[in-house]
Every structure is written in structure tokens, then in C-alpha cells.
């Protein structure tokens, strides 16, 4: 896409075959996890609203494929994909959506707060933009502790007009903090189109206002995301400071479960479905001889088993004890 503001990003070598297949696996896992949670919600088995990640899988997957366990991810109200891509167990997320004691937040977080600090995912923060200064904080800690750890902060285009976003980016820039800011520009902040909230064409144009590199990338091209993120994460890890990456993408579903999407056209939706990141990557893998179709079929079947097992686990898990409501407020 727009390459004019990619000052320090260049493409690099392809990941090896196993990583390519893992990238496919993760994207497909997120897709099927979200489709399944949608069905479970319709059946009344998930007591919540849902903000589905369908259509944006290439962003979380392409970025997180570059991360290590000790790296941090900060997420949003649309967090399932980020958690899955960073390695939170699918069954722990599913159990959380069911409100079970075995959930990744013991049933205290729910859909909008999933995460698992053991694999570096903070509980997702559902106040738009609020995770940006906190991401600067985890990055500050990594810098002070000299761990070499990197923080990735995901947010939507809407977050870029929050004050917290500006304060967080500026702080990260002035101290060269090891953090990568990843904007998932899905063109709408809830129902509000991007163009009604921005005088500029791209969020990433703001990179120069903070003195950090910026890049716009096709967020439905997982390898493009992977390469841009790889370079930014390496910059962060080597102490060169933060980067602002904007991934152009599209949420195929509504903002939340109660959204009829009447503010956008079917033509636009169809156009973006043609650019669906998963069939696109699958086709590429086969055509480039990176994976045989049969191998990918097998991966898909494994994912289906994983999802089934996650549902079974969530179903069989106990609800929290009502008395648990009083626990975990303070560390004693």
C-alpha cells in the first residue's frame, strides 16, 4: 500500500516453512475460534457481547510471530485474536467467555479482558487508547531491567484520537522505549468512518510528530505485516526505540454483536472479503510450493479439534464460587 512513509522499513527474507505453516495455523485458529464463539453466543451459551476479530487475523498473527514469551502484548476490547496469537491457551479463553472458574481470568474478566500474564499478555484493556501509556510502562520496565524484552501495543484507528495515545507515544519516543505501536485501521471506529475523524490519510503519518519511524502496511497480507513488524521489533529490541505501524484491514463482522452494519455498503464488504487474509495466504502457500493443500487440510482439522476441545473444556468446567466475587481485589 502506501509506501511513501516507510522510512526505515524494508522487506527481509521469508520465514522458514514451519513458521509459515504456524502462521497459517494461528490465523485459521483465530478465524474458527471467532466463528465458533459467535455461534455459541447466538445459542445463548456465552453471556456477553463479543467484538469479533474476523478479517483482521493477519495483523495479530504477523506481528506476534516475531515475539518471544517474555515480550508483552497489550490488547483492546477486541482481544481474542491478540491473545491467541501470543499463545494464551484457546481453552482458557473459551472458558473465560463461558464465565468459568478455569478461564484465563477465572471468570472475572470476560471477553473484553482476556489475557494471561504468564505468556506476556496483560488483561485486555477495553477503554480505547488506555493501553498505550501502559505499554510504554512495560517497555520502560524492560529497558530499566535490561531484559531485552519488547512490548507490542495493539489498538484501533479510533484510539489514535484519544489523549492517552498521544501521551504514550511521546513518552515512548523521548526515552527510546522498546515498544511497537500497532494500529489496526479497520476504517471504522464503531460506526464512525475514518475520514470523519481524521484530516490526514493515515494514522501512521503521525509518526513524525513524535520522532519515530512509521509504516503503513496491507494488514490483510500476513507476510507484509510479519516483515514490517519484524524490523520494528528488532529496532525495539536493540534499543533504537519505538515504531508506529498502521495495518490497513477490515472487520468483516459488526463492531459488536448488536451491530447491523447499516453504515457501510455491501459492495465495500464484498470488496474486502475478496482480500480475506486467510484464503489469500493459503493460496500463496500452495502456489509458491511452501505447503501442500493436504498439509493445510490437516492443519485445519487439527484446529477444529482444538476448538472442540476448548468448548468441551469450557462446558465441563465449574462456574466460579459466588464467594470468589470478594477475592483478588487486593494482594494480601
Partner 1 sequence: MVKMTIAEALRQAIREEMRRDERVFCIGEDIGIEGGFGGAFTVTLGLSQEFGHERILDTPISETAIAGLAIGAAVAGMRPIADVQYGDFLFCMMDQLANQAAKLRYMSGGTLNVPMVMRAPVGATARGAQHAQSLEAFFTHIPGLKVVSPATAYDAKGLLKSAVRDDNPVLIFEHKLLYGSKGARSEKGALSPVGEVPEEEYLVPIGKGVVRRPGKDVTIVANLLMLYRALGAAETLSSQGVQVEVIDPRTLVPLDKELILGSVRKTGRLVIVEEDNLTNGWGAEIAAIVADEAFVWLDAPIKRVAAPDVPAPFAPVLEREYVPSEQKIIDAVLSIL
Nearer to partner 1, 102 or 220 (CB): 102
What is the nearest approach in angstroms of partner 1 to the Cβ of residue 129?
Answer: 9
Nearer to partner 1, 33 or 210 (CB): 210
Instruction: Quote the crossing angle between the two packed helices 17-42 and 90-97, to the nearest 10°.
Output: 20
Measured in whole angstroms, the distance separating CA 277 from the mean position of its chain's CA atoms is 14
Dig out the grid coordinates for 127 from the structure. Answer: 477503554
Nearer to partner 1, 145 or 262 (CB): 145
Nearer to partner 1, 40 or 122 (CB): 122
Name, in order, each residue with C-beta under 8 angstroms of 16's C-beta and a sequence gap of 6 or more: none
Burial of 287: CB neighbours in 10 Å, binned 0-12, 13-18, 19+? exposed
Name, in order, each residue with C-beta under 8 angstroms of 51's C-beta and a sequence gap of 6 or more: 77, 78, 79, 111, 112, 255, 256
CA triple 142-173-196, angle to 5 deg: 120
What is the nearest approach in angstroms of partner 1 to the Cβ of residue 170?
Answer: 6
- Taking the C-alpha atoms of residue 31 and residue 20, their distance in angstroms, rounded to an integer, is 17
Nearer to partner 1, 127 or 190 (CB): 127
The closest alpha carbon to 91, from 323, 315, 244, belongs to 315
What is the nearest approach in angstroms of partner 1 to the Cβ of residue 47?
Answer: 16
Sheet holding 243-248, edge to edge: 72-74, 151-156, 179-185, 243-248, 214-218
What is the nearest approach in angstroms of partner 1 to the Cβ of residue 141?
Answer: 3
What is the nearest approach in angstroms of partner 1 to the Cβ of residue 130?
Answer: 6
Whether residue 276 contacts residue 55, with contact meaning beta carbons closer than 8 Å, is answered with yes
Whether residue 86 contacts residue 119, with contact meaning beta carbons closer than 8 Å, is answered with yes
Q: Which residue bears the cell 494480601?
A: 332
Whether residue 48 contacts residue 111, with contact meaning beta carbons closer than 8 Å, is answered with yes
Q: Among positive and negative, which fits the CA dihedral 241, 119, 87, 94?
A: negative
Nearer to partner 1, 163 or 193 (CB): 163
Nearer to partner 1, 70 or 193 (CB): 70
Nearer to partner 1, 156 or 168 (CB): 168
What is the nearest approach in angstroms of partner 1 to the Cβ of residue 186?
Answer: 23
What is the nearest approach in angstroms of partner 1 to the Cβ of residue 244?
Answer: 16
List residues near partner 1 by CB under 8 A.
72, 103-109, 113, 115-118, 122-123, 125, 127, 130, 132-142, 144-145, 151, 163-164, 167-168, 170-171, 174, 327-331
What is the nearest approach in angstroms of partner 1 to the Cβ of residue 319?
Answer: 14
Amino acid at each position: 500500500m502506501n509506501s511513501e512513509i516507510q522510512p526505515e522499513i524494508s522487506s527481509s527474507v521469508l520465514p522458514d516453512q514451519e513458521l509459515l505453516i504456524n502462521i497459517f495455523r494461528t490465523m485459521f485458529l483465530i478465524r474458527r475460534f471467532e466463528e465458533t464463539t459467535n455461534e455459541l453466543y447466538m445459542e445463548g451459551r456465552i453471556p456477553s457481547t463479543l467484538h469479533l476479530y474476523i478479517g483482521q487475523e493477519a495483523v495479530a498473527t504477523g506481528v506476534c510471530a516475531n515475539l518471544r514469551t517474555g515480550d508483552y502484548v497489550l490488547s483492546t476490547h477486541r482481544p481474542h485474536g491478540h491473545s491467541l496469537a501470543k499463545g494464551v491457551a484457546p481453552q482458557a479463553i473459551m472458558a473465560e467467555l463461558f464465565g468459568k472458574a478455569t478461564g484465563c481470568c477465572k471468570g472475572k474478566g470476560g471477553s473484553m479482558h482476556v489475557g494471561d500474564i504468564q505468556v506476556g499478555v496483560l488483561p485486555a484493556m477495553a477503554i480505547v487508547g488506555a493501553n498505550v501509556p501502559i505499554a510504554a510502562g512495560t517497555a520502560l520496565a524492560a529497558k530499566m531491567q535490561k531484559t531485552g524484552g519488547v512490548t507490542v501495543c495493539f489498538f484501533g484507528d479510533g484510539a489514535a484520537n484519544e489523549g492517552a495515545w498521544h501521551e504514550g507515544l511521546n513518552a515512548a519516543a523521548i526515552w527510546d522505549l522498546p515498544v511497537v505501536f500497532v494500529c489496526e485501521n479497520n476504517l471504522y471506529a464503531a460506526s464512525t468512518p475514518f475520514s470523519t475523524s481524521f484530516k490526514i490519510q493515515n494514522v501512521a503519518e503521525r509518526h513524525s510528530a513524535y520522532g519515530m519511524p512509521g509504516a503503513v502496511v496491507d494488514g490483510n497480507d500476513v507476510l507484509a505485516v510479519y516483515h514490517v513488524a519484524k524490523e520494528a521489533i528488532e529496532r525495539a529490541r536493540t534499543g533504537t526505540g519505538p515504531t508506529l505501524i498502521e495495518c490497513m484491514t477490515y472487520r468483516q463482522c459488526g463492531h459488536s454483536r448488536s451491530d447491523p452494519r447499516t453504515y457501510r455498503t455491501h459492495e465495500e464488504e464484498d470488496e474486502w472479503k475478496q482480500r480475506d487474509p486467510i484464503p489469500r495466504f493459503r493460496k500463496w502457500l500452495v502456489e509458491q510450493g511452501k505447503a501442500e493443500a493436504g498439509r493445510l487440510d490437516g492443519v485445519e482439522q487439527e484446529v477444529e479439534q482444538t476448538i472442540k476441545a476448548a468448548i468441551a473444556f469450557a462446558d465441563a468446567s465449574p462456574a466460579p464460587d459466588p464467594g470468589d466475587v470478594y477475592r483478588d481485589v487486593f494482594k494480601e
